[in-house]
Amino acid sequence: MTMLKATKLLTVAALVIAGSAHAQRGVREHERERFRTDHWVYDNRFHHDHYYPAVGYRIGALPPGHLEVRFRGEPFWFHSGVWYHRVGPSFVVFRPPFGVIVPVLPPAYSTVYVGAVPYYYANDVYYVQKPQGYEVVAPPPPSEAPAAAAPPQQTAGNWYYCDSAKNYYPYVGQCPEGWRTVPATPPAPR
């Protein structure tokens, strides 16, 4: 292969890769744009970074895969961190009552430690684990609320892992047993 053909081939490959990256960025911008309406709320507390329908938003039918949860004789519906209550012929997004138990956590949740107690957070709702599932509880009191954690002593080439949370800093803000330093090693090339 001549040097000119190789250069042309590399140029075409670079343009294809750049075009693909631009197209992906455009798709992401489009996805973000679809949430810029009054009925979507962005939850970035505790690095949660997830969109949810706003409290009070009405829908005509529940999403597929919803769970029915009964609490004090009343039916509620839960799907992906969103709670619904029937109002007339429609379903309304609402905050669940404290004490209601759901068998599974939402697929997108953040683990927050207050002292040594793990709280699971999603869509402005806190859960604690119980034998029969996850109970909706009041937020931790302000005096006990998790503070913004100062990062562990940063050194180049290290990550910080919390064994009890099974996650890395900054995805978990606090680690009751202390952070374990792990060498930051990229995946091996294929």
pLDDT digits (tens, 9 = 90+) for 27-71: 444 455 555 566 777 777 776 677 888 888 999 999 999 999 999
Same domain? For 47 and 112 the reply is yes
Q: Rounded mean pLDDT of the chain?
A: 75
Per-residue pLDDT averaged across 128-141, rounded? Answer: 91
Handedness of CA 174, 178, 183, 186 (dihedral sign): negative
Same domain? For 60 and 103 the reply is yes
Residue 159 lies in a domain: yes
- Region of poorest pLDDT, from 29-33, 123-127, 182-186: 29-33
Same domain? For 172 and 127 the reply is no
Tell me the H-state helices in the chain.
3-34
Q: What is the pLDDT of residue 190?
A: 60
Domain of 163, in residue numbers: 150-184
pLDDT beyond 90 at 134: yes
Residue from 84, 52, 80, 55 nearest 68 by CA: 84
Q: What is the pLDDT of residue 108?
A: 82
Give the span between the Cα atoms of 47 and 12, in whole angstroms: 39
pLDDT beyond 50 at 147: no
Residue 95 lies in a domain: yes
Same domain? For 47 and 92 the reply is yes
Q: pTM, whole model, 2 decimals?
A: 0.57
Residue 53 lies in a domain: yes
Same domain? For 97 and 178 the reply is no
Residue 56 lies in a domain: yes
